[in-house]
Copies of this chain bind each other. A is one copy, B any other.
């Protein structure tokens, strides 16, 4: 590491690096010799519009190429000399499986630790040592933990070790879940690809906007696109807060809050529904006391949604979206989930510097 003129993560101490504002951390996390793509992927702030559009184009390409068996085999030969570790100490089947599938598409073999009770942690090992262990046997570490900041710490640690291995943050506490934000943007880009593009749109967020990290990250990423109006529909106790709004204000983005989903749906290009994140309740059952009945998407809302509008949800859902909406062509959440697999494959490919090889493959 340590490029010419580029700021390298090996030239900075942990405390100093950690104290930087998110935007300023980006260059330290880039792949050396690349064109701005990440080596470590930690937060949504590493992605600007050109990079998002590159990743979306690459994901599209991977999706098309893998339709034919020869294409699928060509993709699988790209990274078949690499091994990925999926370290998921927080439960998540969806994020786990889509990263697994993304690895398999590119040919990486995988190992996983999904339950820390069967790992060495019971013997008193520190998490840092555990993750450094994984870096000994694997070439990529995909990690999901309830601990804020652990992925960032390990990125610095590994880059400053004998064996720098990229970290892909698959969700860290209340903190960040950057690949979820990527798949959301990819879904919006695909949805409006043939309808004029992702600009001059109204995106409605609804549900638990305070604790759902996906909303926070997506709201941020949308500021990269011109004139995206954002509407936040939630009960007062679960409304997004200044951590979200201050970014929008600073970027001069138009936004408003509301408690009326039906009214918001009428002018929505996209409605992004979310689940009540009651696993973060201070006291168990706190969320249950909030009246969320008006913050659900059902037949009534479907009837009001413009014809070109799309319905999204990061899933899993409870009853935020009625199953009667599932077969509507505007219901984008199943495709959105599958998009996660494609965009993660694209991200892993750029992490290892294989973007050009894929771009040169025949469709």
Binding site for B on A (CB under 8 A): 66, 69, 72-73, 76, 80-81, 83, 85, 91-94, 97-98, 100-101, 104, 109, 111, 113-115, 117-120, 122-125, 129-130, 132-134, 136-138, 161-163, 275, 279, 315-318, 334-335, 337-338, 341
Chain B residues with Cβ under 8 A from A91's Cβ? 117-120, 122
Name the residue among A93, A101, A161 with the largest chain B CB count within 10 angstroms.
A93
Closest to A130 in B: B93
Is the Cβ of A162 less than 8 Å from the Cβ of B334?
A: yes
In the assembled complex, which residues on chain B have CB atoms less than 8 Å from the CB atom of A100?
A: 111, 137
CB of B162 within 8 A of CB of A335, answer yes
Give, as a whole number of angstroms, the nearest-CB distance from A13 to chain B. Answer: 13
With A129-B317, A316-B125 as contacts: A83 and B101 at CB distance below 8 Å? yes
Q: Point out the residues of chain B lying under 8 angstroms from A94, CB to CB.
A: 120, 133
Rounded to whole angstroms, the CA-CA distance of A85 and B98 in the bound complex is 12
The answer to whether B129 and A315 have CB atoms under 8 Å apart is yes
A93 touches B120 (CB 8 A): yes
Contacts of A335 in B (CB 8 A): 162
Contact (Cβ within 8 A) A133 B97: yes
A118 surroundings in chain B (CB, below 8 A) = 91, 93, 114-115
Identify whether the interface residues of A are mostly helix, strand, loop, or mixed: helix
Chain B residues near A111 (CB, 8 Å)?
A: 97, 100-101, 104
Our pick among B92, B125, B316 for the contact of A129 (Cβ within 8 Å) is B316
Contact present for B133 and A101 (CB under 8 Å) = no
A92's contact among B104, B120, B130, B136, by CB below 8 Å, is which? B120
Q: A337 touches which one: B101, B119, B133 (CB < 8 A)?
A: B133
**Are the C-beta atoms of B341 and A136 separated by less than 8 Å?**
yes
CB contacts (< 8 Å) of A76 on chain B: these are 80-81
Contact partners of A132 in chain B: CB under 8 A: 334
Whether A137 contacts B73 in the complex (CB less than 8 A), given A115-B118, A119-B91, comes out as no
Least CB distance from A271 to B in Å reads 18
Q: With a CB–CB cut-off of 8 A, which chain B residues contact A80?
A: 72-73, 76
A316 partner residues in chain B, CB cutoff 8 A: 120, 123-125, 129-130, 133
Shortest distance between the CB of A348 and any CB in chain B (Å): 15
B residues near A334, Cβ cutoff 8 Å: 132, 136, 161-163
A216 to B279, alpha carbons, bound, how many Å? 44
Contacts A118-B115, A120-B93, A129-B316; A72 near B66 (Cβ below 8 A): no
Shortest C-beta distance, A105 to chain B (Å), equals 8
Give chain B nearest CB distance to A90 CB in angstroms: 9
A317: B residues at CB distance < 8 A: 125, 129
Instruction: Kindly list 19 other residue pairs between chains A and B, CB separation below 8 angstroms, not including A91-B122, A125-B317, A162-B334.
Output: A72-B81, A83-B104, A91-B118, A91-B119, A93-B118, A93-B119, A93-B120, A97-B133, A97-B137, A100-B111, A101-B111, A124-B275, A125-B316, A125-B318, A129-B315, A129-B317, A133-B337, A137-B341, A162-B335
CA distance A149 to B10 in the complex (A): 49
Q: Which residues of B contact A69 (CB under 8 A)?
A: 81
For the complex, give the distance between the alpha carbons of A119 and B101 in Å: 16
B81 touching A73, Cβ below 8 Å: yes
Residue of B nearest to A128 (CB): B323
Query: Chain B nearest CB: distance from A179 CB in Å?
Result: 14
Taken together as a complex, chains A and B put the C-alpha atoms of A281 and B336 apart, in Å, by 44
- Taking a contact as CB atoms under 8 Å apart, the answer to whether A137 and B98 are in contact is yes
**B residues less than 8 Å from A133 (CB atoms):** 93-94, 97, 315-316, 337
